[in-house]
Every structure is written in C-alpha cells, then in structure tokens.
Amino acid sequence: MKILVTNDDGINAEGIEILAKTARKFGEVIVIAPEDQCSAMSHHITLRDKMTIRKHDFAVPGVSAYAFGGTPADCVRASYLGLFKDGEKPDLVLSGVNKGANCGYDIQYSATVGAAMEALLYGVPAICFSQNYFTDEHECHTDVMHAHIEEILRELISKPLDKGLAWNVNFPSCKIEDYKGILFDRFPAQSAFWDDKYVVEDSDEAQKEVVLKTIPVEKAQEGSDMQAVIDGYISIGTIRNTVIR
C-alpha cells in the first residue's frame, strides 16, 4: 500500500512525524506537507502563484519527505494531478496529527480536513487525525494518542467507507489514567470548540485593530465528537465531501 501523509501544521510539526512513523508499519510512505503553518485554511488551493517543492530531511527512516510551498489541499491535489505517474499514486491519504481538535464547526475551517476532502475527489480513502489541546498555556497530554494511534489506524484501514466519506479521529488531552475509551459514530457538535470573540482595540481614528479572543468550551451535545473528547474519550466519526454523490 502506498500512503501519502500530509498535515496543516507544516512539515516540521511533531504530529506529522508521529503519523508517518505509524503509517510506515502499514505500507510505503511519502510525506508531502506545507512548508509553513496552514491551519484554518479549509480547502484552499493555490491557483496563480508558483509553488516550490524540495526534498526534506525527515526523521522517520524509510520515509521520503517533501516540503511543498502550498496548502494541504495543494499537497494532495498536486500528488494526483502531476507529481506522480498513474502507477505511483498513493492508495490512502492520512492527514495530521493536527495540533488542536477538529470537531463540530471547526471541521468546516480545518485544512487537515481540507486535505482529506481533496483526496475524496480522486476516489482515494482518507483519514484525519487530530490531538485536542486547550490553550498554549495548558499542558497538552498526548499519551492517549501515542498509545492508540496504531491500533486505530489498523482498524480504520480495514473498514472502507462509502464514496464521499472520510474518517475523522480526535484524541483527548488527558492523562492515560483518565482515558475512558473509544467512541465510534460520533457526530459533529453543532457548535465550535472555541468561544470566539472579535475585539476592536483602540488605536487611531482612521484604523482600528481587530483581535480574535478564544476561550475553550466545556460542554457540547451528548453523542457528539466534541463531548467525547471533553470527557476523555477518543472520538471517531465520519465527515462527508458534499459534492460527491
């Protein structure tokens, strides 16, 4: 199996190294990821600017890696529209492990998800992996992710989805002793993980600065992806590319 691994935090992010190392146990892995941070770019693609691609010194043995001067969707799009010949195109796309949960309304903004949505356009199965955290001031516990990512990847590879669907996996930020288990069939919460507020700050009269302030929410609907993660479970659900019938 040929596996393409990408992300939206950039090729130097810790999460993509973890995901590529895990994926290596299931097949041939190539990493093509953005040079820079691309969070919240959704399914954005580059149409007019030239994009660079360069070999990247990656920490996982046996994995070829390339830094791409585009978005996560660009990384996937280019892989199926020119970077690979027909017999070399990957059989599976993995996106992540993102720093931050992709639950509820945040799925709509996520470039981690955008990469998976692009893969589905070519009939290629895709899985998103995300690690919840609250703020940079709080410790992010990744013990659950490290302990269970391999078994989850193995199980989801063995469960092909209907056309237009991708798996969406979110790990809780909790200590291993507080971990509750895995919940499947989680639906996207009908809210965002962050209580966002745009604050207008005083400056001069001609131009004011607008700053985004975020506070993590503490409650969501029962049965939702967000509530599962808040409660210390791994959330697994599906997300749909709505243009695919």
Q: What pLDDT, in 10s, does the model give residues 168-188?
A: 999 999 999 999 999 999 999
Kindly report the pTM of this predicted structure: 0.95
Q: Spell out the domain ranges in the chain.
A: 2-240
Report how far residue 68's alpha carbon sits from residue 111's, in angstroms, rounded to the nearest whole number.
15
Give the pairing type, strands 209-213 and 53-55: unpaired
Q: What CATH number matches the domain at 2-240, 3.10.300.10, 3.90.420.10, 3.40.50.720, 3.40.1210.10?
A: 3.40.1210.10
Report how far residue 167's alpha carbon sits from residue 121's, in angstroms, rounded to the nearest whole number.
15
Contact 159, 127 (CB under 8 A): no
At 136, the pLDDT band (50, 70, 90 cuts) reads: low
Tell me the residue type at 33: A
Instruction: Say if residue 39 carries a ligand binding annotation.
Output: yes
| Residue 237: burial class (beta carbons within 10 Å; 0-12, 13-18, 19+) | buried
Output the pLDDT for position 135: 59
Output the pLDDT for position 231: 96
The helix/strand/coil state of 6 is strand
Contact 65, 54 (CB under 8 A): no
At residue 8, what are phi and psi to the nearest 5 degrees? Answer: -120, -5
Instruction: Say if residue 106 carries a ligand binding annotation.
Output: no
Share of the chain above pLDDT 90, in %: 87
Instruction: Say if residue 9 carries a ligand binding annotation.
Output: yes
